[in-house]
């Protein structure tokens, strides 16, 4: 079932330790199939050495297991919530505890867009979501985590801002597929590091002007993009 | 003698440089056998390249060598003190000079629990022990180091808080076996790094609310745990 | 066409990830042939794994493609602008998003020359260029980026100061050939890191005295150089 | 000539990049033979890939080449000055531009002894030498660098404090042989990093009490040492 998607999601998960984004099992990637309304996700607590195309878990949009013998990632309800809201626009989700992104999430701050590295992929800052209430955490923690992200994007386009920080927790990112979500997870960690160092170097650092962000984002995205190889 | 435990302790010691936690010989792992009241520990000053299952040293709870031709780690009395007090609850101890944990120990501060990465393994902050007095250091330095840790845990559960900082020195961690103690040493170093960066990013950073810590700790530990694969 | 130069530029590009200076495709190196007035540059958005001597692109000093089937780097007009102004003195240009250099560029500060590591290659600080205006960015962003660098060197010798920070963007470096430009990119990243840490260690850190800079720069450069092997 | 010493010095030099202490050719190790009054040192500007037992250079205590076809390291007069003063107590010298040690040297501060990692090898702080005067730099820069180190140790024992920071430049370290000097260079870099982080974590961090330093230094050094394997 969903063999090609399984292979994509397997590769995306294996890319997380390759990029230095996860320690032990502290991360997971999923990929969504809009035709069937199902997504493939990493099983919970399984080491990357044990991970295989076969032991990935298939879930429906309620987060219920449709295929697989292992428990899905404990973050499955979060992934499901994002696909329920944004499944027409995103096809992959990644969660990690990458070091610099977690540090911003723990500090409770959005990452300002200080330069073009961020602007090439994020149309502005990487937002930090509001903290969950005690009731939300006790009732349905992982589900509410996803809903709080969707709530935080009420005025944001998840395609233009492909990631967010969950307060006191860590980063989630997404994209057209699982590989794109991994790519954005790498970008998020890199810009998190550079933004912290930017503020260390100058307490007066200011975000890049809007016209610079426009230029960088739009030269990579949309009908007038000219970065890369259009014909490939 | 204690062949299986020797193999576990050998692997745990070899994992320390693999995880980047030790430079040269600056670290050691031990494992405890409650049936015999003996523990296996790294020999003192032996490089990881020379370490073998055979040259590990077996000690009793007084720290006296029971089997082995080499001197045990100079930190043996510390390990022995922890097993004497907590031997019914822990089966492995690790000491390293890992960079960020040492920096907090040198700063003399407990590591606040800023987020879920820490809360998944530590039920609150990683405490920093009081400094040893001149008399304690001169009389029985390594023994007193262990006793100061036990003293510092008078109101703490070493199972819920599987590590501590020894002031001006560095981290000790423990767990159900030597592998778990290594795991907690990795967690301790990672959260030490992220907590320092959290404070760098925001001088107003506050510890995560207690209900978030409860949720994360209890979803991994205790009768209602749901992280990972229960059946495995 | 330009086979030897293609090989040099290929090696220079491949050295960028080897030195840890680029993530994904975020960097490019070029090399200039003064005889023909042409330069060889990385194609846009092509991964380092796919890069080959053959798929490099040859451009003229207007940035127009003379040979090659792929689009050249989107930064090609910047490289062209530098060769147009300095082509008699430099033969290679490198652009990266290396982490510490970007952090200084985002902070909008020149890197002070705090010591001999920098003075061995840069005769003083690494300057930070003025920000581009909205008009410049909208009209001809990459071209204006190059012109702003040339403008910023009105009173500086690009041979004595082989690199610069483009505000809110990142570092450009250059040298007698593409390999030298890579070398200076490595130096720039290293001194960017050390200068940030120098200020972290002492808020009163002062640049090294001019006579120390003179000594270090001149023992490596010019007729009285005595570093290295003159006869090799 | 001095075949065994050549091999030791070759290995010591090759260990510098292995330990991440040098970029390009920015470091050198030497070893001294008290019987002949000669020392073996790395040639100047030669890459580690090209370095061999054969192309090392043998110098006398005036820094003059006794054997070898290449120029010795430009830092040769510094090494010679240290052996002239301390040749009865030290047998190896290392110079690097390792990142954190250089940052302290550029900040012009001694590294306080915040904990036992440093105290195990340095009996107190790692001192920072006074800056050289313009006259000293112009007359005999590398020679004066050595003399300033010796001057800075007027009241210090180079065996108890096996390294120093040269202001605005970087670290020198030494030991009983070239391997010990490399070992101390690794320690120096590690404690430089941890001391900076200690101050970042607490602005009130205080050096470890003298009795703790005494304990750690003396359990590794002197007649009452008990660390390691006495019989090996």
**pLDDT tens digit sequence for B32-89:** 999 999 999 999 999 999 999 999 999 999 999 999 999 999 999 999 999 999 999 9
A88 φ, ψ to 5°? -85, -15
Q: pLDDT value at position D230?
A: 64
Q: Which chains touch D (3+ CB pairs under 8 A)?
A: B, C
Q: Report yes or no on A207 lying in a domain.
A: no
Cα–Cα dist B229/A69, whole Å: 10
| Domain total in chain D | 1
Chain B residues close to A71, C-beta within 8 Å: 226, 228-230
**Residues A101-143 pLDDT 10s:** 999 999 999 999 999 999 999 999 999 999 999 999 999 999 9
Mean pLDDT of C1-18: 97
- Residue C58 pLDDT > 80, yes or no? yes
Q: Report yes or no on B178 lying in a domain.
A: yes
Which residues, including other chains, have CB under 8 Å from residue B133's CB and lie 6 or more apart?
none
Q: pLDDT value at position D216?
A: 87
Q: Report yes or no on B232 lying in a domain.
A: no
CA dihedral B59, B65, B69, B75 (to 10 degrees): 70
Query: For testing the chain C interface, which of A15, A20, A195, A197 should be mutated: the one with the most C CBs within 10 Å?
Result: A197
Cα–Cα dist D91/D173, whole Å: 11
D107·C201 Cβ contact <8 A:
yes
Mean pLDDT of B108-112: 98
Cα–Cα dist C41/C178, whole Å: 10
Sheet holding B163-166, edge to edge: B65-67, B57-60, B38-41, B27-33, B92-96, B170-175, B163-166
Mean pLDDT of A163-168: 98
Cα–Cα dist B52/B43, whole Å: 10
How is residue B123 written in tokens? 């039920």
DSSP state for residue C23 in the 8-state scheme? S
- Measured CA to CA in angstroms, residue A50 lies from A39, A130, B180 at distances of 20, 35, 19
Q: pLDDT value at position B228?
A: 81
Q: pLDDT value at position C232?
A: 45
Q: Report yes or no on B99 lying in a domain.
A: yes
B108·D205 Cβ contact <8 A:
yes
Mean pLDDT of D52-81: 97
Range of the domain at C119: 3-220
- Residue A60 pLDDT > 80, yes or no? yes
B 84-123: CB under 8 A from A: 114-117
Chain B residues close to D116, C-beta within 8 Å: 168-170
A54/chain B closest Cα distance in angstroms: 16
Lowest mean pLDDT, pick from A119-128, B27-36, C210-219, D164-173: C210-219
Mean pLDDT of B3-14: 98
Q: Report yes or no on C201 lying in a domain.
A: yes
Q: pLDDT value at position B1?
A: 85
Let me know: does B146 contact B80? Beta carbons within 8 Å.
Answer: yes
D44 touches chain C (CB under 8 A): yes
Terminal Cα distance for chain C, rounded: 30
Lowest mean pLDDT, pick from A193-202, D112-121, D136-145, D218-227: D218-227
Mean pLDDT of B215-222: 84
User: What is chain C's length?
Assistant: 232
How many CA atoms lie within 13 Å of B196's alpha carbon, on the beta-carbon side?
23
Q: What average pLDDT does chain B have?
A: 95
Where residue C216 falls among pLDDT bands split at 50, 70, 90? confident
Where residue B232 falls among pLDDT bands split at 50, 70, 90? very low
Q: What average pLDDT does chain A have?
A: 95
- Residue A200 pLDDT > 80, yes or no? yes
- Residues A170-196 as b/e (b if ≥16 CB within 10 A, e otherwise) read bbbbbbebbbbbbbbbbbbbbbbbbbb
Q: pLDDT value at position C222?
A: 78
Mean pLDDT of D59-72: 97
Q: Which residue of C has its CA nearest to A114?
A: C106
Q: Report yes or no on B115 lying in a domain.
A: no
- Residue A231 pLDDT > 70, yes or no? no
Q: What average pLDDT does chain C have?
A: 95
- Residue A155 pLDDT > 60, yes or no? yes
Q: pLDDT value at position A28?
A: 97
C202·D43 Cβ contact <8 A:
no
Q: Which residue of D has its CA nearest to B74?
A: D227
Q: Report yes or no on B180 lying in a domain.
A: yes
Q: pLDDT value at position D232?
A: 45
Where residue B229 falls among pLDDT bands split at 50, 70, 90? confident
Q: Which of C33, C60, C120, C141 is catalytic?
A: C120
CATH number at residue D66: 3.40.225.10
What's the burial of C189, exposed, middle or buried (CB within 10 Å: 0-12/13-18/19+)?
Answer: buried
Chain D residues close to C193, C-beta within 8 Å: 99
3-state secondary structure chain D: CCHHHHHHHHHHHHHHHHCCCCCCCCEEEEEEECCCCEEEECECCCCCCCCCCCCCEEEECCCCEEECCCCECCCHHHHHHHHHHHCCCCCEEEEECCHHHHHHHHHCCCECCCCHHHHCCCCCCECECCCCCHHHHHHHHHHHHHHHHHHHCCCCCCCCCCEEEECCCEEEEEECCHHHHHHHHHHHHHHHHHHHHHHHHCCCCCCCCHHHHHHHHHHHCCCCCCCCCCCC
Lowest mean pLDDT, pick from A207-221, D29-43, D140-154: A207-221
Closest by Cβ to D168, choosing from C114, C202, C226 = C114
- Residue B221 pLDDT > 90, yes or no? no
Closest by Cβ to B228, choosing from A45, A170, A200 = A45
Q: pLDDT value at position B230?
A: 64
Q: Report yes or no on C166 lying in a domain.
A: yes
- ipTM over 0.85 threshold: yes
B55 touches chain D (CB under 8 A): no
Cα–Cα dist C157/D61, whole Å: 40
Closest by Cβ to D208, choosing from B44, B99, B168 = B168
Where residue C118 falls among pLDDT bands split at 50, 70, 90? very high
Q: Which residue of D has its CA nearest to C118?
A: D169
Q: pLDDT value at position C53?
A: 98
Cα–Cα dist A143/A82, whole Å: 10
C164/chain A closest Cα distance in angstroms: 16
Where residue D2 falls among pLDDT bands split at 50, 70, 90? very high
């Amino acid at each position: 079932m969903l063999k090609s998607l399984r292979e994509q999601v397997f590769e995306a998960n294996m890319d997380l330790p390759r990029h230095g984004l996860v320690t032990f099992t502290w991360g997971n990637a999923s990929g969504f199939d809009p035709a069937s309304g199902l997504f493939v996700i990493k099983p919970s607590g399984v080491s990357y050495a044990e991970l295989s195309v076969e032991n990935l878990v298939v879930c429906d949009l309620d987060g219920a297991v449709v295929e697989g013998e292992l428990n899905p990632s404990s973050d499955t309800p979060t992934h499901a919530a994002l696909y329920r809201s944004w499944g027409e626009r995103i096809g992959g989700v990644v969660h990690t505890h990458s070091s610099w992104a977690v540090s911003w999430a723990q500090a409770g701050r959005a990452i300002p867009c200080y330069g073009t590295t961020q602007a090439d992929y994020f149309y502005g800052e990487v937002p930090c979501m509001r903290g969950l209430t005690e009731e939300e955490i006790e009732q349905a923690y992982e589900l509410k985590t996803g809903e709080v992200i969707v709530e935080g994007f009420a005025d944001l386009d998840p395609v233009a801002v492909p990631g967010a920080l969950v307060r006191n927790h860590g980063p989630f990112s997404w994209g057209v597929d699982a590989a794109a979500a991994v790519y954005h997870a790498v970008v998020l960690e890199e810009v998190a590091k550079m933004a912290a160092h930017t503020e260390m170097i100058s307490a007066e650092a200011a975000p890049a002007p809007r016209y610079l962000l426009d230029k960088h984002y739009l030269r990579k995205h949309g009908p007038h993009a000219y970065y890369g190889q259009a014909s490939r």
